[in-house]
């Protein structure tokens, strides 16, 4: 059910397994708080699901931050929106009694999740970044030691160049993240391989909460 009580319009599905890590679901451009709920249920059955709607509108389509054109981001807005989203996560954790969530983001949602990791490193327990690209050309120093990150890129992605995804991987590793970067035989859209890899990664041991 969509809820507007906190600082972001969002949807929250409570956990049915106490040991399952909560997920923060972050949609792509034109999506909303409902888009990734089915994906969350498939890759992490029983997890609490927290899914906010991006506040920026581009041609009527929700996003999590402004861009100047495709592939070129308003980096000041990226930083401000990441801080705003971090505040929402703190609100939601207090309201629902959640541990630090693992972000699962697609496209624009993956980009804001990457920005959260690099600018608000204590907010997330880890992240699954599907078709992410570099959100900040020169990110601030961040300590992501103990944070597991799965970066899923598409070899035939017309939006995210291979070198851009590789540069994001370098940034995350430089910050100390335990990064698993996979390039799939896919374009920009979600594939079954993304779901399978995300599910298996989330089941793996040694996740450390923030």
One of 3.40.50.1820, 3.40.50.800, 1.10.10.60, 2.40.50.1020 is the CATH number of 2-203, namely 3.40.50.1820
Neighbours of 118 (CB within 10 A): 25
Give residue 207's pLDDT: 42
Give residue 33's pLDDT: 97
Structure token pair of residue 71? 């592939």
pLDDT over threshold 70, residue 26: yes
Give CA–CA dist 79/173, Å, rounded.
20
Helices (H), ranges, 5-151: 37-43, 75-96, 108-119
Neighbours of 70 (CB within 10 A): 8
Residues tagged active-site:
107, 157, 188
Structure token pair of residue 145? 């030691």
pLDDT over threshold 60, residue 174: yes
CA dihedral angle for residue 59, residue 60, residue 62, residue 68, rounded to 10 degrees: 20
Q: pLDDT tens-digit profile of 136-169?
A: 999 999 999 999 999 999 999 999 999 999 999 9
CA angle 119, 38, 130 (to 5 degrees): 40
Find tokens 């799939």 and name the residue: 184
Domain ranges for the chain, please list them: 2-203
Spatial contact of 30 and 112, defined as CB atoms under 8 Å apart: no
Q: pLDDT tens-digit profile of 69-107?
A: 888 899 999 999 999 999 999 999 999 999 999 999 999
């Amino acid at each position: 059910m969509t809820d507007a009580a906190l600082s972001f319009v969002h949807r929250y599905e409570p956990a049915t397994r106490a040991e399952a890590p909560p997920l923060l679901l972050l949609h792509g451009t034109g999506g909303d708080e409902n888009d990734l709920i089915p994906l969350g249920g498939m890759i992490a059955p029983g997890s609490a699901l927290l899914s906010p709607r991006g506040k920026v509108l581009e041609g009527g389509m929700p996003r999590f931050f402004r861009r100047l054109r495709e592939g070129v981001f308003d980096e000041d807005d990226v930083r401000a929106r990441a801080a705003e989203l971090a505040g929402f996560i703190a609100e939601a954790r207090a309201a629902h009694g959640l541990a630090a969530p693992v972000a699962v983001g697609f496209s624009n949602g993956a980009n804001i999740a990457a920005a959260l990791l690099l600018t608000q490193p204590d907010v997330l327990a880890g992240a699954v970044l599907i078709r992410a690209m570099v959100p900040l050309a020169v990110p601030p120093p961040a300590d992501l030691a103990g944070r597991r990150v799965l970066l899923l890129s598409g070899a035939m992605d017309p939006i995210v160049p291979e070198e851009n995804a590789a540069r994001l991987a370098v940034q995350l590793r430089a910050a100390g993240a335990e990064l698993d970067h996979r390039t799939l035989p896919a374009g920009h859209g979600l594939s079954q391989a993304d779901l399978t890899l995300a599910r298996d990664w989330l089941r793996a041991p040694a996740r450390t909460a923030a």
